[in-house]
A and B are shown apart, each in its own frame.
Chain A
Amino acid sequence: MSEFTYLYRGGRDTPQSPEQRQRQLQKWAAWFKELGANGNLKELGHPLESAGMVVKGNQKIITDGPYAEAKDVVGGFSLIEADDLAHAVELSKGCPILEVGGSVEVRPIMQINM
């Protein structure tokens, strides 16, 4: 088993009725439940605020940001355990964010043997 990070992007600004929101939420709960039941969920992770600060360069210049397009902003992350990258990608296909115009970025966590 290897570890992966799911980075959730976008899928925020779609206008939704209360009913659609409710369904979205239930789908997320069901998805995480399934990942957990199969031993693929290492950690739920955290949602992230969309606004923050960016510190850059030797001069340590501080700017507001990240001012990326709404669809590119990372809205949260989770830690996943899967056999390999292909497996982790397969598991990510169940993520409800894909139904509302968002995306999941699957990144292997570097394994370093010290």
Chain B
Amino acid sequence: MEPGDHLFRRESGRMIAALTRIFGVHNLALAEDVVQDAFCRALEVWRIRGIPENPSAWLMATAKNAALDVLRRQRTARAFAPELGRFLESEWTLAPVVEELFSTGVIKDDLLRMMFSCCHPQLQKAAQVPLILHILCGFSVGEVASAFVSTHAATEKRITRAKKVLARSQAVRHCRAGRFLGAPPSGPPGALLAVQRGLPRCVLRDGRTG
């Protein structure tokens, strides 16, 4: 791998996006756990065997299998994405649906969907861009803090609070019900402007040189 290649950073957002689409945004923490596990596994294998020819596909396959495991094990215990509920309940449809949700084109949509979720009006404005940078762009809390000239503790608090809102908010269900544009009109457009203003600066600076 070239030193400039940000594989883990790039893939973490894509994996989170695909997994939250399946699990529902309210299960963001579960999605993050699955991604962490997949990364741990990758590191354990790759550090000795070297990086495979298509590391992205390797990671995605690992995340996909982990998602299937979680869905099978916790099918009755947890509520996942409600609009997918019927398909995730039956073993006949489970694998094909998850397969489809991990296809490249769908993941692109998932990333956008998740970005809208992160801009939901119930989330503190000041938390929205940090949340996107952290969850979807794979920046660590420390990196986000330094991009916003803030402290690690304050940034962490902000992100944690926002995640809690996502985990319990009823209104956010607009987003996970597939109607990511269905949120109140005053919310996302304004927030998206903030994203447009805020994102490129950080991503370009730290994404390229970090």
Number of residues in A with C-beta < 8 Å to the partner? 26
**CB atoms of B7 and A44 under 8 A apart:** no
**CB atoms of B143 and A19 under 8 A apart:** yes
Interface residues of A (CB under 8 A from B): 8, 12-13, 15-22, 24-26, 28-29, 32, 44-47, 75-76, 78, 96-97
**Is B200 located at the chain interface by the 8 A CB criterion?**
no
**Is B51 located at the chain interface by the 8 A CB criterion?**
yes
- Greatest chain A CB density within 10 A among B9, B11, B46, B47 is at B47
Q: How far is the CA of A8 from the CA of B47 in the complex (A)?
A: 11
| Min distance, Cβ B64 to any Cβ of chain A, angstroms | 19
Q: Which of B11, B51, B140 contacts A20 (CB 8 A)?
A: B140
Q: Which of B9, B139, B142, B143 contacts A22 (CB 8 A)?
A: B9
Q: How far is the CA of A24 from the CA of B7 in the complex (A)?
A: 12
Q: With A17-B142, A18-B8, A29-B1 known to touch, is A45 a contact of B46 (CB < 8 Å)?
A: no
**Is B87 located at the chain interface by the 8 A CB criterion?**
no
| Min distance, Cβ A32 to any Cβ of chain B, angstroms | 8
Q: A19-B210, A26-B1 known; 6 other A-B pairs, CB under 8 Å?
A: A17-B141, A21-B42, A28-B47, A29-B51, A45-B48, A47-B44
